[in-house]
Amino acid sequence: MEIIQEVKKAKQGDKSSFAKLIYHFEKDMYIVAKSILQDENDCADAVSETVLKAYESISQLKHPKYFKTWLMKILVNNCYQIKRLQKRVITVDDFPDIPVPQEEYNNTELYQVLNKLEDDLKVIVVMYYLQDMSVKEISKILDIPAGTVKSRLSRARKRMREILSLEGGNVSYEPKI
Amino acid sequence: MYPMNRKFDRQIRDLLQKSNIEVPENFHKRIENTLNMIKERKGDNKVPKNTTSKKITLGALLKVASLLIVAILTIGIIDPAIGKNIPIINSVFEYLSNRGIEKTEYQKYTVGIGASQISKGVEVTLNEAAFDGSRLVVGYIIKDNHLPKKIEKDKIFVDSSAETAINNENLSAGSNTVSGILTNDNTFIASAKYELVRGYLDKIPSSIDVKINIREITFYEGTNRHTIKGNWNFNFTIPASKTKVDLKILKPKIVINDKLGEIKFNKIILSPFSTSIEIEAPQDPVVGWYEYTDEYQYMQPSLWTVTDDKGNILKWEAEYNLFDINGKVEKDKAYPRLIKFSPVSPDTAYINIKSSKFEVKLPVK
């Protein structure tokens, strides 16, 4: 799919092109939402809001090549809004030493590593490593300076090394659960 | 020595990208439903700059019920066939479910009502109701010619303060959770949930008499609040044959002991629409009702992490005091409360509750 062409058509009101774009980035949106919200229903709420908001404001997107960055920014804002409304609820991930059964799709040791990271590091790790976004793109999406993105990446690397217990350049780790 | 960042980055990227992440069905379904809703909007092939059709998301509004006893006047079944202003929408629950607004399946428990009231130029139709023994869910259609003028970009929240009761048992005073959609023709389609504050019906009678008196409807645009005061009174009866009450009631008799006081888990009520937990626990005597200093935070159920035996989080939805608030909080006194969470699946073995100070498993099988 030629993304930029579809974005241009969507900007002109082509709902079919808009839908194609949304489905194309469906998995990316899920990964990012999940890194912030954890709860499946909250992720679904966030993406639903995001799709609507994106549809209503796509005509204002100036550069079609930044569609993904723009879409992720809307999603992240919606996720944090939901999180703010629930700020009095403590998630299970805040207590990493209590083992909790993970959902099947999430049942990888590396996601257990991700779940041990602080929230502000988790979403950056997901965007940088899983979605191959640049520091500049992440900075735009999260609305934080590029320097902050870099320093959080640096903290995340340090933390992941501790968790994974890297040795001699080969990646090996001992799961703590 | 740690590897260089680039090598580490490559390795992490490889490892993470090998993880098999699949998009869950409900996530995909929500996207699909939202795109379908967009597709159905008027003005095809044109992206509206100022859309008049908005999805309204939830504002969870907690109204703590004091013990209002409401006299019930039973008028009898309102026959949907002769109800006024029958809406074009046959089922509000189905309409909202198709658009990803309402998630719980109410079909098994739904009774058509089709009653309308007009007050202050606002027409409210009670389209249908579903009752599971603990929670009443009502489908509303609200028509107000002024609605579009109040709409800006922000979300709108609807709050109806209602005197409600089922068979003389008071329901929550005010709609607990309202979710809906504003359509192009000045119509707001919503579902509202009312909790049976005492928890559940003790036994299933031959009929269920419901009274809902709405006194005001409030719309929020961002921080601007618009309230319409009026009288929209609904009295209807649901024959027991037309609904289904499906409850599991357990008495765990679990007590958490702490120097600040005991927390007793007295009752668990599992119903298709919700999970209710009845506790007795102290209130914070320093700051008074519903406020908690750091020391007492662990007694605040909305801060608990509640999961089922599969690790699914049960969302805190509401909380009700089962006592009169009269005077100051007494230290060391146990105050009964009912806390509502999202429902569990029928095969759940236990509910796990974790706070900053304790963790407890409540068996539900």
Separation CA B223–CA B237 (nearest Å): 38
Q: Which of A162-176, B26-40, B156-170 is predicted least confidently?
A: A162-176
Cβ separation B55–A39 shorter than 8 A: no
- Give the confidence band of B59 by pLDDT, cuts at 50, 70, 90: very low
Q: Tell me how close the Cα of A88 comes to any Cα of chain B, in angstroms.
A: 5
pLDDT at B46 over 50: no
Residues A1 and A81 in one domain: yes
In a domain, A174, yes or no: no
Domain presence at residue A12: yes
> pLDDT of B15-29, one tens digit each?
777 667 788 888 998
- The single-letter DSSP state of residue A16 is H
Q: Which domain holds residue A62?
A: 1-89
Q: How many CB atoms lie within 10 A of CB A146?
A: 14
Helix (H) or strand (E) holding A104: none
Of A29, A56, A89, which residue is a domain's last? A89
- A110 in the same domain as A85: no
Min Cα–Cα distance to chain B from A89, Å: 5
- Please give, rounded to a whole number of angstroms, the shortest distance from the CA of B24 to a CA of chain A: 8
A175 in a domain, yes or no?
no
Reported as a single tens digit per residue, the pLDDT across B179-218 is 677 776 678 888 888 877 666 666 666 678 888 888 877 7
Domain count for chain A, please give it: 2
Are residues A81 and A2 both part of a single domain? yes
Between B262 and B17, the higher pLDDT residue: B262
In a domain, A127, yes or no: yes
Tell me: do A13 and A78 sit in the same domain: yes
Same domain, A122 and A164: yes
CA distance B55 to chain A (A): 8
Same domain, A6 and A70: yes
| Rounded percentage of chain B residues whose pLDDT exceeds 70 | 64
CB contacts of A100 in chain B (<8 Å) are 307, 311
Q: Which residues pair with B157 in a beta bridge?
A: B220
| Mean pLDDT to the nearest integer, B259-280 | 88
**Same domain for A61 and A36:** yes
Residue of B12, B22, B303 lying closest to A90 (CB–CB): B303
Q: What is the pLDDT of residue A176?
A: 28
Classified as helix, coil or strand, A116 is coil
- Chain A residues within an 8 Å CB radius of B53: none
| pLDDT of B292 strictly over 70 | no
What are the b/e assignments for B241-267, b being 16+ CB within 10 Å? eebebebbbbebebebeeebbebbbbb
In a domain, A100, yes or no: no
Confidence (pLDDT) at A59: 87
Residues A118 and A159 grouped into a single domain: yes
Regarding whether A32 and A76 lie in a shared domain, the answer is: yes
Which positions 255-274 of B are in contact with A (Cβ < 8 Å)?
Answer: none
pLDDT of B207 reads 74
Closest Cβ opposite residue B31 in set A22, A105, A130: A22
Q: Convert the pLDDT of each residue in B60-107 to its tens digit.
A: 222 222 222 222 222 222 333 333 333 357 788 888 877 777 766 777
Residue A66 lies inside a defined structural domain of this protein:
yes
Q: What is the CATH number of the domain that holds A31?
A: 1.10.1740.10
Do the beta carbons of residue B259 and residue B147 sit within 8 Å?
A: no
Q: Which residues pair with B126 in a beta bridge?
A: B115, B140
A11 and A79 fall within a common domain? yes
CA separation (Å) from B45 to A7, A15, B22, B36?
Answer: 14, 7, 32, 14
Position A98 in a domain:
no
Q: Which of B27-36, B84-93, B315-324 has the lowest mean pLDDT?
A: B84-93
What is the per-residue pLDDT across B224-261, written as a single tens digit (0 to 9) for each? 666 778 888 888 887 776 666 678 888 888 888 877 77
pLDDT band of residue A10 (cuts 50, 70, 90) is very high
Residues A82 and A126 occupy one common structural domain: no
Single out the residue in A39, A62, A89 at which a domain terminates.
A89
A1 and A84 in one domain?
yes
Contact B82/A at CB under 8 A: no
Find the Cα–Cα–Cα–Cα dihedral B62, B66, B71, B76, rounded to 10°.
Answer: 20
Q: Is residue A80 included in any domain, yes or no?
A: yes
Whichever domain contains A118, its CATH number is 1.10.10.10
Q: Which two tokens stand for residue B331?
A: 């230290």
